[in-house]
Amino acid sequence: MHKQPTVVLLVLISVLCITACSSSAPATSDTSVPTMTTLRVWSQHDLTDQSRTTSVLMQQRVADFEAATGISVEYEQIAWDQLAPKLALAVQSGGVVPDVVETGRQHIPTLFAVGALAALDEVLAAETWVTELDERDSQSCIIDGRRYCVANLVRGGITYYRTSAFPDGFPETHSAWLEAGERLQAEGMYLSTFFAGRSYASIEWAWAPWIYSNGGRIFDEQGRPAWATPEVAEVLAYARTLLARGYLPAEIITGDIPTGELPWIEGEAASFRGGTWSFLYVPDLRQGIETGTVQITGGLRFNDGPAHVFLNNESWIVPTGARNPAAAAAWISGLMQPDFLAAWSKAQFGIPTHPAARALPDFDTPFYQQIMTILLEQGRYMDRSPYYVESMDILAIAVQEILLNPELDIQQRLQAAEAEILQRYW
């Protein structure tokens, strides 16, 4: 039996960082919600930033909800990495609890473990769209047979590469990467660049897909660390080789997320392992795709294992202690209308979890068809753990030390990191 998460644990989290037909619309409209005074919404989007499509859409959603229901929306913008910790602290301390909150999949296990999630089966019982969501929603939101969130869109890892650097196509295996790296180094170019720094996000984006392809795990079925294994050690030894030969920029190990993007932006790297979200942050990436000078591909196959890419979703939850769960359910239902969901997902370069939204013209383009194929076929969610972020940060520190110190025994350092987590939380 593992130890129960505490308020102190969740304070630690806060320092981290990451159409079938029209009948598929929600059965319950906003106007069917009993009149209440307010609906408290926590989300990451800045309603005053008119340059962001997501902010404009969210502002319109607030206005439409208020007009349809007569309920005043108290909207609070909170930084993405602070949403889950702030909610957990509010629930545990008896503070002001919002009615509906946006969060990512990786935070659901911890919020569930501390009792911060209200089950949604009853408040969403009349909504036919709930039964139509794809398996990426159920994999995240159904726990012990009950629904605790609604996943609205999925995003994931994507590799971007310069067409001219790979005339025979992008290498798909770890051995082919080594061959390509040698050729590109002779041409004065890095094989690839990506974020691999001291954060749980580097495990998600950079190393876990390779570990999974090699048959390894990050957490076991109980959520305990399971990384002190030969499969994980082999991947890290391979990463050491890429760095030692100069096929990767050394600064990606010690830098932040923009540091991993910079060699690509400056034209020094032949490929860039980012995500569907990278279009929001990396200059000229979309233009490169549209002109054909840049192409996209999925994951790397390690030792003949299947290719994987990191998969995550954006979800909505109703916290324990929410005053207006019925209004919160109506808020979520409005967001899950196919027309709105399609626009919302496209603005974040994500894929809707509702097939009716995916079938709309927004996604009927070669680019989105390729993105959907990669994410739906290769996308893999991270293993669950109630101590997900804390554990992954400890692992990221260990990986950084392993890569920076070639003399360090990989297996021993992984065992020490694993023991630290087991001692602290289990």
CA dist list (Å): 403 to 5, 240, 241, 253, 270: 31, 6, 9, 8, 22
Higher pLDDT, 371 or 15: 371
Tell me the fold of 156-310+384-425. D-Maltodextrin-Binding Protein; domain 2 (3.40.190)
Domain with CATH 3.40.190.10 in the chain: 7-154+311-381, 156-310+384-425
Picking from 190, 217, 192, 191, the residue whose alpha carbon sits closest to that of residue 203 is 217
Between CA 73 and CA 45 the distance in angstroms is 14
pLDDT digits (tens, 9 = 90+) for 146-175: 999 999 999 999 999 999 999 999 999 999
CB atoms within 10 A of CB 412: 12
CB atoms within 10 A of CB 133: 19
Between CA 213 and CA 224 the distance in angstroms is 20
331-44-387-153 Cα dihedral, nearest 10 degrees: 60
Total residues belonging to the chain: 426
Class of the CATH domain delimited by 7-154+311-381:
alpha beta
Per-residue pLDDT, 36 = 62
pLDDT digits (tens, 9 = 90+) for 53-102: 999 999 999 999 999 999 999 999 999 888 888 999 899 888 889 999 99
Tokens of 268: 């020094």
Between CA 146 and CA 42 the distance in angstroms is 23
pLDDT digits (tens, 9 = 90+) for 260-314: 999 999 999 999 999 999 988 899 998 999 999 999 999 999 999 999 999 999 9
Between CA 310 and CA 298 the distance in angstroms is 10
Q: What is the mean pLDDT of residues 329-337?
A: 96
Picking from 359, 364, 363, 329, the residue whose alpha carbon sits closest to that of residue 24 is 359
